[in-house]
Structures are given as C-alpha cells and as structure tokens.
Amino acid sequence: MTDERNDHADDEEIDLVASVGPLDAVVETLRDVLHRSGALRVAVVVDMPDDGPAALVDVGRLAPVEVRIADRVMHLPHAIELEADALSGAIELRQLPPFEVEPETGQVTGTLGGLDMLADAMKDLAALLGGRSVAIAVYQTTTPGIDLTVTARGEEPVLVTLGDQEWELPER
C-alpha cells in the first residue's frame, strides 16, 4: 500500500479541523487500534450516518489524521483531544515484533498466532463499524521496503498483502 496521503495534487484543498463530527468516535477507535497494535497505519472506509458518501478515515504514526468524504479532505492533528470514546476496547490487540516475510511466496513468520490476531482484529473492527466498512492495517516487517497489510470486510476472507502480492487467509 503506497502512502497516497503524500501524493496530494498541488491544487487539492485540505481543511484543518478540530472535529469531524459523527466520525470523531471512528478517529478515536483507529488511534486506539494503531497504538495498541503497533501498526504503521490503520484506515477504514465507513458508511456515513446520513447515507451520504462513504468516508475514508486514515490514521498513521506521527501523521495528521486524514478524513476524506467525497471531494473534501480534512486533517486533524494526531494528538488532538476529541469528545468521543474509542469503540475498540473489546478488540484483542497487542504489539508484536515485526514479521519475517517472503513476498514472493507469501510466507509470514512471527509470533505464534500473531497474524491470526491481527486478522481477527481487522474483522472485528469492520464489524464494529458496521455497514459496508472495510478495515485496513499496515505493519512493519523485517524486510526493508515491504510492509504487511491486513484488510477485512464483512464476511469476506481477510486479505494479506506483501509488496505487490496479495493472499486470502484460510478460514479457521
């Protein structure tokens, strides 16, 4: 997954805001997941409560929180205090050492049950946010330039991406 947040067109307007209203709880939830899991980045696509266009909420380490709704892009300072609570307390997460990966074969080696825990966390996050939500988390590996991305949506199989290669995790 490339960091598209740094690829903004020069003419794209970004609003610096102190709140994203009904999405504040989503921002708090993603910051909680990011910090508890040690992810490089956590993002979700989530339905808006008013049946408007879906929103992309993207939280990265030491980066502003970015929220995109249709053509509007908003940034919040990463550490800003919001008047909302994280919804993710029941999601089991802990920080793991970086995984060893073989991008050509899809082999991932690390803490026993670690990848399953991250997959379950993304499935739980997508389910928690409801609707057609998609949850994505990016983790560091021991291979320079190759991150491990875990993506979940509803009852679909969890996807693991290493570089340009993508695999479905088998059902357990």
**How many whole angstroms separate alpha carbon 45 and alpha carbon 16?**
20
The SS3 assignment for 103 reads: coil
Say if CB 132 and CB 153 are below 8 A apart.
yes
Kindly report the pTM of this predicted structure. 0.90
3 state DSSP class of 39: coil
d(CA 79, CA 1): 24
Per-residue CA distances from 72 to 14, 16, 55, 75, 156 (Å):
7, 11, 10, 10, 29
What was the pLDDT predicted at 7? 53
- Nearest of 157, 124, 156, 122 to residue 139 by alpha carbon: 122
pLDDT attached to residue 2: 43
The helix or strand, by DSSP H or E, that contains position 75, with its residue range, turns out to be strand 72-76
User: DSSP assignment of 114-143, as one string?
Assistant: HHHHHHHHHHHHHHHH-TT-EEEEEE-BSS
pLDDT in tens, the chain (172 residues): 444 455 555 678 999 999 999 999 999 999 999 999 999 999 999 998 777 899 999 999 999 999 999 999 999 999 999 999 999 989 999 999 999 999 999 999 999 999 999 999 999 999 999 989 999 999 999 999 999 999 999 999 999 999 999 999 988 7
> Tell me, what's the pLDDT at 48?
86
Do residues 136 and 150 touch, judged by C-beta distance below 8 A? yes
pLDDT of residue 77: 97
Query: CB 88: neighbour CB atoms within 10 A?
Result: 23
pLDDT of 49 reads 76
